[in-house]
Structure 1
Amino acid sequence: MNAPLPDVPEVRVVGLPQLTTGFDLVERLDLSMHLKVHGPLEPVTGERLAQLAEAISLRGRGGAGFPFGQKLRAVAKAAIRRGVRPVVVVNGSEGEPPCRKDTVMLNRAPHLILDGALLAAEALGARTLIVGVTRNSTEASIRAALAERGLSDRPTRRGNQLRARVVRTPERMVSGEASSLIRAVNGGPALPPGRRERASEAGVGGLPTLLSNAETFAQLAVAARIGTERYGNTGLPGEPGTVLLTISGAVARPMVVEVPTGVPLRYVLQLAGAPPLPQGVLTGGYHGNWIDAVSAHGAVISRESFSSVGGALGAGAILPIGPETCPLGEAQRVANWLAAETAGQCGPCRLGLPAAAGGLSDVLNGGGQAALEALREVMQAVRGRGACKHPDGSVRFFMSTLSAFTDDLAAHVLAGGCGRETTGVLPLPAPGYEEEGIPTGEKIAVDWTLCKGHGLCADIVPELIRLGPDGYPALADAAVPMHLQGRAQRAVSRCPALALRIEAAPPERPARPALPRSDRKALGSGQG
């Protein structure tokens, strides 16, 4: 199995750097080096900043792609209408295993992110800046950057009324959602609140809140320095500038690459050492879509191009897989992880995703057409009914997998398998990263010589155990999440036949290490 991606993988650039300027000089740009490389930045009024964002078609780079200028105007209007000062939040909570672009920026160019956030805060008249992070390295880097600017949670300089603080969230898929971060900042758990609220109206402390992804603020700072005309000279006319991508999966050199829009996807994959003819390319990460080798060959780096071939730019994660691995087996590993990432707050997430992961396992293990139809029914039941974006994003991944690998699906359904092992090229977290609500590394096991099919276990913990057509329990392949550990133990203790037990999940079989740790030389290679 692949090693997890390091916090800061190798960084490369295609063409002239904008976000990654100076990466060839130092490992991390402190404030002094940042100013030498990028120069000073003058304040911009709110209207001019909104016009700037609209002129460069700046959209959020965290996955949703919402127009930044529209968000900025909405926060300003809400603050004026209510007569309050808004809050600015940088979302650097990157909890998805194949995503590292924001982590790279927070570690290596934190001041470029702060430049954009402080521009927005000044333009809006905000007095509070919050940066959400998930990792030790990003927390240390951003705290150091705030200290270099003399910023803290209390005013420390005469005339400086801005208060800035860092909020640490668990390294989880659901913790990176905007509503989860706001809930964490407000003192609650880093989980979606289960209700739809606009941060621009009521976010941190109930105040209008401008929340955007770390790369988005860095792009804003670049555009404010070089102007719209020069910014627009790079990339496509409709999507100007550069984007940051995290390339992993079946590649020789996992990396974060800064690339202008319009560059062929095949060139970026070749740069990372992907297979010449990949079986498929997962675009947009684990809430994204698969595209085939032909589509990958013709696509260019842009939202529009990816969408036209059924892909998604999303948070900028690109993951090719080679012909040697079973694509459905790869999807099963991710499906188990997605199921364990449930926030546990609604039925589609708490019950549906484990059921879908179990259904995919049934298909892989020879369940035939009946198992495939059951899986499709589960996905249809989950779709569009979740309290947050995690169920829909996960179902999108499931459905894309089934439609992208039809030959492999037919082999599993009709012939009992495709004949290939699962080599584990899609990165997942290493054991021991767990926070509340994610896998414990334990699984429920059943002794079939004792089981009498009473079904009490399925009533107690339906997220992990469901009754099959024969009335006997069918167990999820996913590890027991932390938040279900108590109920799993209760199911074991209440089994009348003493047929259940909790045991350590078996380690996955190692495969070739396609995701090596980067070293100091790689970190300093910058523009190589």
Structure 2
Amino acid sequence: MTGPLPDVPPVYALGLPRLTAGFDQAERLDRRTHLLAHGSPPTLPGHRLAELADAIALRGRGGAGFPLARKLEAVAHHARRSGVRPAVVVNGCEGEPACRKDTVLLCRAPHLVLDGALLAADALGARTLVVGVTKDTAETSVRDALAERGLSDRRRGRSLRARLVRVPERLVSGEASALIRAAGGGPALPPGRRVRAAESGLGGAPTLFSNAETFAQLAVAARLGAHRYASTGAPHEPGTLLLTVSGAVPSPAVVEAPSGVPLPYVLQVCAADPAPGGVLVGGYHGAWLDAPTAYGTVVTREALAACGGALGAGAVLPVPAGSCPLGETLRVAHWLAAESSGQCGPCRLGLPALASALAATLSGGGQETLEAVRHAAQAVRGRGACKHPDGAARFVLSALDAFPDDLAAHALAGGCGRETAGVLPLPAPEAADAVDGTGTGAGNPTAAAGRLAVDWTLCEGHGLCAKLLPEAVRLDPDGYPVISDTALPGRLRGRAQRAVRRCPALALRLEKP
């Protein structure tokens, strides 16, 4: 496929469904249908819930894979130590274009996610529950689910107050500190320093933070118990998992499968090419596998890591043999660079340098540019304000390791002889043929695109707008933007809208001409 993924793609279950139970009965499980499909959840004290999470080896399913039991214990410890009641934050942002599993859960089984979050909130004695989303569909479904349960942020007589937070659809919006910051009324950006949510998260309170699938898995495990939960899946990583499969498949899908399922079986179910040119696992912060390696592994965190891959956010993306995987990598590398929040040098400067070095290598730059790629990746790893630079570097370096023959052909001869099909999903560009309020085609390069304006109460002088739109923005000696009050030409509309979207402080806007 090409183009962005739908919010809620088709869902397949390999074996008996757990997270997706009831999906054959209803498009969205309301409170009543949810209880018919899953039954009522039990109530577990904090130590029992942590023991359950530890017994089933439940790790976060958002990418980092941190053990949930350790998170629960850390939040409980810091809550006792500080005397502050903790908070629970559900991350349903899923700003990565190749992932839809959390969105599917929030849109089709929101009460299962809320069950897990409320189990944790009750066990920890939390007084605040926040669900973060980026999409209209998820926002509507979660709001309806909170209303169906009578949960609100306004009913002060309740021991628990619940609310939904909508953040911009960007990769960094789902980073833990960024979402917690947005839930506290700030911008959806990392704060520029590493913060442990379990120690000081939402409003300074110890905060349990995990993604939607993790809470849904906790709700299923609480109902089944550790023994029944472990009756399916790999012995050391029991249960099922959700995978978003896209790329070179007829249509994207979300698949619930037992852990340990052979990766080629997942690809076969989604009608992928049986001889792909490579498979990206874990998403755009994940890693590439060549075809023989991908078709010889199973889907567990341990097995994928052993062969150089990563479970990550659960995305699986085969590319066709006729498309250049390094060209696909370069497309995504440029997007990852543009997703920078512009707050630290490794991200703001290092990721564009990494993408540029990769482009030079693929154009026949030779050994010198290849070394520049590795140097740029090394320069950003472990030095960012969040994990975005680390993930982007891992993604690019894995392509160099997985496709050495293609890399040699590009570096020495300027190409491998294959086109880049563009099958890895990225956000849709602004429509070039949209019609503005004057009836003039926005794609017309002679039509005015509007005027850039800055809200000086918000601008922090990051300077990202000048890098994205140097034709219209320059920086003064203090690093703040200087913008002409003349209208922009139509040819700059898309890039101006991109600059507005990427402004870390949300201070830039595009006014109609």
Q: Do they fold alike, i.e. is TM over 0.5? A: yes
Check whether the contact 2:465–2:473 (CA below 8 A) recurs between aligned residues. Answer: no
Change in Cα spacing, 1:58 to 1:255, as seen in structure 2 (3 Å) is same
Check whether the contact 1:89–1:209 (CA below 8 A) recurs between aligned residues. Answer: yes
Separation of aligned partners in 2, 1:337 and 1:377: 20
Matches within 5 A, 1:201-240: 201-240=199-238
Q: CA deviation at 1:364?
A: 2.2
Could you tell me the TM-score, scaled by structure 2's length? 0.85
Helix, strand or coil at the partner of 2:238: coil
Check whether the contact 2:466–2:474 (CA below 8 A) recurs between aligned residues. Answer: no
Change in Cα spacing, 1:361 to 1:503, as seen in structure 2 (3 Å) is farther
Check whether the contact 2:430–2:494 (CA below 8 A) recurs between aligned residues. Answer: no
Helix, strand or coil at the partner of 1:285: coil
Partner of 2:133: 133
Separation of aligned partners in 2, 1:2 and 1:203: 38
Partner of 1:123: 123
Matches within 5 A, 1:280-295: 280-295=278-293
Which of 304, 307, 328 pairs up with 2:305?
307
Partner of 1:490: 473
Partner of 2:478: none
Separation of aligned partners in 1, 2:230 and 2:381: 38
Helix, strand or coil at the partner of 2:26: coil
Helix, strand or coil at the partner of 2:151: coil
Partner of 2:106: 106
Check whether the contact 1:338–1:394 (CA below 8 A) recurs between aligned residues. Answer: yes
Separation of aligned partners in 2, 1:505 and 1:265: 42
Q: CA deviation at 1:503?
A: 4.5
Partner of 1:17: 17
Helix, strand or coil at the partner of 1:122: helix
Change in Cα spacing, 1:210 to 1:407, as seen in structure 2 (3 Å) is same
* Paired letter, 1:490: V
Matches within 5 A, 1:333-412: 333-412=331-410
1:204-259 CA distances to partner (integer Å, 9 max, x unpaired)? 00001011110000000001111111101011111110000000111123100000
> Structure 1 residues 209-218 or 364-373, which shifts more?
364-373
Partner of 1:453: none
* Paired letter, 1:96: E
Q: CA deviation at 1:408?
A: 1.1
Separation of aligned partners in 1, 2:412 and 2:474: 35
Partner of 2:143: 143
Q: Which runs of 4+ in 1 moved over 3 A?
A: 481-488, 490-494, 501-507
Partner of 1:162: 160
Change in Cα spacing, 1:390 to 1:241, as seen in structure 2 (3 Å) is same
Helix, strand or coil at the partner of 1:287: coil
- RMSD of Structure 2 on Structure 1 (CA): 2.3
Partner of 2:71: 71
Check whether the contact 1:246–1:318 (CA below 8 A) recurs between aligned residues. Answer: yes
Q: CA deviation at 1:504?
A: 4.4
1:183-204 CA distances to partner (integer Å, 9 max, x unpaired)? 1111111111121111111000
Check whether the contact 1:489–1:502 (CA below 8 A) recurs between aligned residues. Answer: no
Partner of 1:82: 82
Could you tell me the TM-score, scaled by structure 1's length? 0.83
Q: CA deviation at 1:314?
A: 0.6
Q: CA deviation at 1:361?
A: 1.4
Separation of aligned partners in 1, 2:397 and 2:116: 37
* Number of equivalent positions: 456
Matches within 5 A, 1:455-466: none
Separation of aligned partners in 2, 1:65 and 1:353: 24
Separation of aligned partners in 1, 2:493 and 2:307: 38
Change in Cα spacing, 1:365 to 1:386, as seen in structure 2 (3 Å) is same
1:65-106 CA distances to partner (integer Å, 9 max, x unpaired)? 111111101111111111121001101110000000000000
Q: CA deviation at 1:373?
A: 2.3
Partner of 2:434: none
Separation of aligned partners in 2, 1:364 and 1:83: 56
Helix, strand or coil at the partner of 2:284: helix
Separation of aligned partners in 2, 1:483 and 1:95: 24
Helix, strand or coil at the partner of 2:162: strand
Q: CA deviation at 1:262?
A: 1.3
* Paired letter, 2:367: Q
2:255 paired with 1:257? yes
Partner of 1:56: 56
Helix, strand or coil at the partner of 1:391: helix
2:413 paired with 1:430? no
Separation of aligned partners in 1, 2:11 and 2:492: 37
Separation of aligned partners in 2, 1:173 and 1:93: 9
Q: CA deviation at 1:371?
A: 2.2
Q: CA deviation at 1:375?
A: 2.3
Separation of aligned partners in 1, 2:351 and 2:196: 26
2:185 paired with 1:187? yes
Partner of 1:270: 268
* Paired letter, 2:29: L
Check whether the contact 2:354–2:376 (CA below 8 A) recurs between aligned residues. Answer: yes
Separation of aligned partners in 2, 1:190 and 1:103: 19
Separation of aligned partners in 1, 2:372 and 2:493: 26
Q: CA deviation at 1:431?
A: 1.8
Check whether the contact 2:246–2:317 (CA below 8 A) recurs between aligned residues. Answer: yes
Check whether the contact 1:155–1:161 (CA below 8 A) recurs between aligned residues. Answer: no
Separation of aligned partners in 1, 2:493 and 2:284: 23
